């Protein structure tokens, strides 16, 4: 007699994006002429750049010829891609060996799967609000108690509130934590941790033999040269941190699918030696995953070429131009807006103490603009609202114009 994994039943209903869809459809049915502008989902919209397209074509062409055809590749990812990543980090003064990189099909799978190499009684700590994958995958693994709908939290999990009082950078966990999930630049708040703020977490993790799981998916959106784009810019981080990153937001690969994780060999936990955690992730990936597409890895290599980096820099600058338009546009009409300086998300405070969902309805009905209610990312997101800069410039400008002209405050 088979039974389902009971932990799935504990998951709070995945309600955010379906509910946005439901309210949007309902509004559109009642107002068929309304041209809605979507600043909700964090999905890229601009095309891949010329060098990257050439790299992908090259990957296809290699498969057309017996001499260059390849089937399964190296389990950790193509060596030339891993070496290019090692050079990319070295260009920023970090020494990561090519065999400490694991190429994957994206940061979402890696950030969800990484927990499987740690003991089930490890206590995880999460930023609140956060990208939902970290919490949900730990629930599915069985690390949580039941969900409490009144507090919006799971028993046994540690939440690290990110509020305007702490500039959306969390304090250290309030109870002893074993797995610490950090995302900087942050989705949804757009906040970026400084070197000193990351160092506090690195020192904590080294003291406790805890592990930091650092999601750096938005690293290439950092403009300010003083802000760390990798946790390994902090001394000692290789002993305690796994970094997860992706070509999705960096190069527009959201639909192409390519990412990487760094698991340093010197990372150790309470019951492991040098190299153990690294070899467990190798084991996990070789058991469950058969490598990223070889075509797509050619595209990733092209991203890391001089021309590719230049072009992708222009791509991220384009979205950051959108972010500036949104943030300044909101501030001009007296709204409180955060983030958006080194991250493609604007995190605004809802006006007049409205709930996140009340503001969603107001923005939709008055300005015909769709955003994301902050409460969907965790209890501390209540009273906030996320606007994404991943749109075409003309749509962003029209949305801001409508917000300024039509939103009654």
Q: Hey, which residues between 254 and 283 contact ligand PLP (CB under 6 A)?
A: 254, 259
Q: Which two tokens stand for residue 353?
A: 């103490």
Choose the stretch contacting ligand PLP; rule: CB under 6 A; options: 7-15, 103-111, 315-323, 394-402: 103-111
What number of chain residues touch ligand PLP (CB under 6 A)?
A: 15
Q: Give dist(CA 354, CA 360) in Å, integer.
A: 10
Residue with tokens 């397209």: 53
The residue among 315 and 335 lying less far from ligand PLP, judged by its C-beta, is 315
Choose one: 100-108, 156-164, 364-372, 399-407; the region binding ligand PLP (CB under 6 A).
100-108
Choose one: 104-112, 121-129, 289-297, 348-356; the region binding ligand PLP (CB under 6 A): 104-112
CB closer to ligand PLP out of 59 and 300: 300
C-beta of 65: minimal distance to ligand PLP in Å? Answer: 30
Give least dist CB 106 to ligand PLP, A: 3
* Of residues 254 and 293, the one with the C-beta less far from ligand PLP: 254
Q: Nearest distance from residue 168's CB to ligand PLP, in Å? A: 14
CB of 409 to ligand PLP, least distance (A): 29
Nearer Cβ to ligand PLP (81/335): 81
Q: How far is the CB of 325 from ligand PLP (least distance, A)?
A: 21
Q: What's the closest the beta carbon of residue 143 comes to ligand PLP, in angstroms?
A: 20
What's the min distance (Å) between Cβ of 126 and ligand PLP? 12
Closer to ligand PLP by Cβ: residue 187 or 268: 187
Closest Cα to residue 180, out of 207, 159, 156, 155? 159
* 42 touches ligand PLP (CB under 6 A): yes
d(CA 109, CA 399): 32
Shortest Cβ 255–ligand PLP spacing (Å): 9
Dist CA 46 CA 69 (whole Å): 31
**CB 256, min distance to ligand PLP, A:** 9
Cα–Cα distances in angstroms (integers) from residue 367 to residues 39, 71, 218, in the given order = 12, 51, 29
Rounded to whole angstroms, the maximal C-alpha distance in the chain is: 67
Q: Of 187, 189, 285, 316, which one interacts with ligand PLP (CB under 6 A)? A: 187
Residue among 55, 106, 329, 374 that touches ligand PLP (CB under 6 A): 106
Residue among 37, 82, 94, 108 that touches ligand PLP (CB under 6 A)? 108
Find the binding residues for ligand PLP in span 116-175 (CB under 6 A).
131
Stretch that binds ligand PLP, among 14-22, 45-53, 101-109, 167-175 (CB under 6 A): 101-109
Identify residues 198-257 at the interface with ligand PLP (CB under 6 A). 215, 217, 246, 248-249, 254
The minimum distance between CB 244 and ligand PLP, in angstroms, equals 7
- Which positions lie near ligand PLP, rule CB under 6 A? 42, 106-108, 111, 131, 183, 187, 215, 217, 246, 248-249, 254, 259
């Amino acid at each position: 007699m088979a039974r389902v994994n009971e932990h799935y039943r504990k998951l709070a209903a995945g309600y955010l994006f379906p509910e946005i869809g439901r309210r949007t459809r309902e509004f559109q049915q009642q107002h068929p002429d309304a041209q809605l502008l979507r600043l909700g989902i964090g999905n890229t919209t601009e095309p891949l750049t010329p060098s990257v397209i050439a790299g992908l074509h090259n990957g296809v062409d290699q498969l057309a010829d017996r001499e260059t055809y390849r089937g399964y590749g190296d389990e950790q990812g193509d060596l030339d891609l891993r070496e290019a990543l090692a050079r990319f980090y070295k260009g920023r003064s970090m020494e990561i060996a090519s065999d400490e990189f694991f190429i994957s099909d994206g940061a979402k799978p890696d950030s969800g799967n990484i927990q499987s190499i740690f003991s089930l009684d490890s206590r995880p700590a999460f930023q609140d609000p956060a990208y939902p994958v970290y919490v949900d995958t730990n629930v599915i693994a069985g690390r949580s108690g039941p969900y409490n709908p009144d507090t919006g939290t799971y028993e046994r999990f540690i939440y690290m509130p990110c509020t305007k009082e702490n500039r959306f950078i969390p304090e250290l966990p309030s109870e002893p934590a074993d797995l610490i999930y950090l995302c900087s630049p942050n989705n949804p708040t757009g906040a970026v941790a400084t070197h000193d703020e990351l160092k506090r977490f690195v020192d904590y993790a080294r003291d406790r033999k805890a592990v930091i799981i650092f999601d750096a998916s938005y690293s290439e959106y950092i403009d300010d040269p003083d802000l760390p784009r990798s946790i390994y810019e902090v001394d000692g981080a290789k002993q305690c941190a796994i970094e997860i990153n992706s070509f999705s937001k960096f190069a527009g690969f959201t639909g192409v699918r390519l990412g990487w994780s760094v698991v340093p060999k010197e990372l150790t936990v309470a019951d492991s030696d040098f190299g153990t955690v690294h070899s467990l992730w190798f084991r996990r990936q070789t058991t469950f995953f058969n490598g990223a597409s070889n075509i797509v890895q050619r595209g990733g290599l092209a991203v890391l070429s001089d021309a590719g980096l230049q072009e992708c820099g222009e791509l991220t600058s384009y979205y950051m131009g959108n972010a500036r338009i949104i943030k300044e546009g909101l501030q001009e009409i007296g709204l409180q807006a955060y983030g958006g300086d080194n991250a493609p998300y604007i995190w605004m405070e809802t006006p007049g103490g409205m709930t996140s969902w009340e503001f969603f309805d107001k923005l939709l009905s008055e300005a015909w603009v769709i955003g994301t209610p902050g409460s969907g990312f965790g209890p501390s997101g209540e009273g906030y609202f996320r606007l994404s800069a991943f749109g075409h410039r003309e749509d962003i400008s029209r949305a801001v114009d409508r917000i300024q002209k039509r939103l009654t405050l």
